Structure 1
Amino acid sequence: MRDIQYQRLEAVDSVALLSILNKQKVRTHLVAHDQFDLFSFNEWIAEKKRIDLQPKCRVRAVIVDDQVAGWCGIQPDEDKYELAIVIDESFWGIGLTIFKQLMLWAKDLKHDRVLIHLLATRKSYKFLEKMAIKKLPTRMMDHDFVTYVFVVE
């Protein structure tokens, strides 16, 4: 079994995290934006740190077997909260484990419901469909998404 840990973004190897965020295979699953340079990456880290300080939010780096694998979090989404998971392709397959951890955090942070937005171009995930109470098409930032709604128990 893999050892998965969650650490504050500023506590991990920023070069490794930056590399993951700029990988084309990872970026194909995200809203299109310019690759990060050192300045924009540091701005992104600062923004995620601000989010982490907000009530009902948590943002962490994902460490797998002592290696930076990506990041995850619970962050604001208008008047709701969304779950985010961004991991390097070499760690794809551990998403369900990270999702379960996020749901535990959501319970600890006293959420009733949380969302996951996936670009509509992504494949459907059976485990998300089974756990979601609702799956609906949404449009944000000029992109089509599939939004899954989860009850936090």
Structure 2
Amino acid sequence: MNIEFRKLSEISKPAIMALMNHPLVRRQMPLLKDHFDENACETFVASKMKLWNDHGYGPWAFVVNNEFAGWGGLQPEDGEADLALVFHPSYWGLGKKLYQKIIGRAFTEMGLESVTVLFPPSRTRVKGLLRLGFTEESEVYIGQHRFIRYRLKSPV
């Protein structure tokens, strides 16, 4: 299996729109309100690319065997490096493998002290996250939406 980390701007709009409009993906993303159309896609990709320009890091597109599988990585969120992983359901089994690569970069190459994850309260299956060493920290609101913040501290 060939896994590549690419820029989101290298992925076709229809592929991104298909992912972001998939009902199983949308169920886990309460900030996605309306249909994710071409304008939303352009705004989304531009905002993610701006993170790279402004902060030196941001999310990647994950390409598996030349197919767009999802996006994710570290993103600045209120002064924290927040981990996001969004996969098409066909690729949900890849999360741990890509997580390990991203966390490895976070704590070695980037020298971060910790990484956060924001889960909506509807995501009740958090045992895997806790097994990875994350601890529940606090509630956070983005707009009108409540999230639970989990934190993983650097082992070094």
Q: TM-score when scaled to structure 2?
A: 0.88
Contact 2:117 2:149 in 1 (8 A): yes
Is the CA contact (8 Å cut-off) linking 2:13 and 2:38 kept in structure 1? Answer: no
Counterpart Cα distance in 2 of 1:147 and 1:97: 22
Uncovered stretches (5+) of structure 2, i.e. residues with no partner: none
Match of 2:34, as an amino acid?
A: D
- Root-mean-square deviation (CA, aligned residues, Å) is 1.6
Task: List 4+ stretches of structure 1 deviating above 4 A.
Answer: none
Aligned-pair distance for 1:44?
0.9
Return the letter of the residue paired with 2:30. V
Query: Structure 2 matches for 1:70-149, cutoff 5 A?
Result: 70-107=70-107, 108-141=109-142, 142-149=144-151
Are the aligned partners of 2:20 and 2:36 in contact in 1 as well (CA < 8 Å)?
A: yes
**1:61 has 2:61 as partner:** yes
* 2:27 aligned residue: 28
Task: Supply the distance in 1 between the matched residues of 2:126 and 2:23 (Cα, whole angstroms).
Answer: 21
Which AA in structure 2 matches 1:136? E
Percent sequence identity over matched residues? 22
Distance across 2 between alignment mates of 1:65 and 1:97: 15
Q: Give the residue type in structure 2 aligned to 1:67.
A: E
Q: Any gaps of 5 or more consecutive residues in structure 1?
A: none
Q: Which AA in structure 1 matches 2:148? A: V
- Would you say how many aligned residue pairs link Structure 1 and Structure 2? 152
What SS does the corresponding residue of 1:60 show, helix, strand or coil?
strand
The Cα shift of 1:43 comes to 0.9
Deviation (angstroms), 1:40: 1.6
TM-score of the pair, normalised by structure 1: 0.90
How many Å separate the matches in 1 of 2:13 and 2:113? 33
Q: Residue 79 of structure 1: CA displacement?
A: 1.8
Secondary structure of the residue aligned to 1:94 is helix
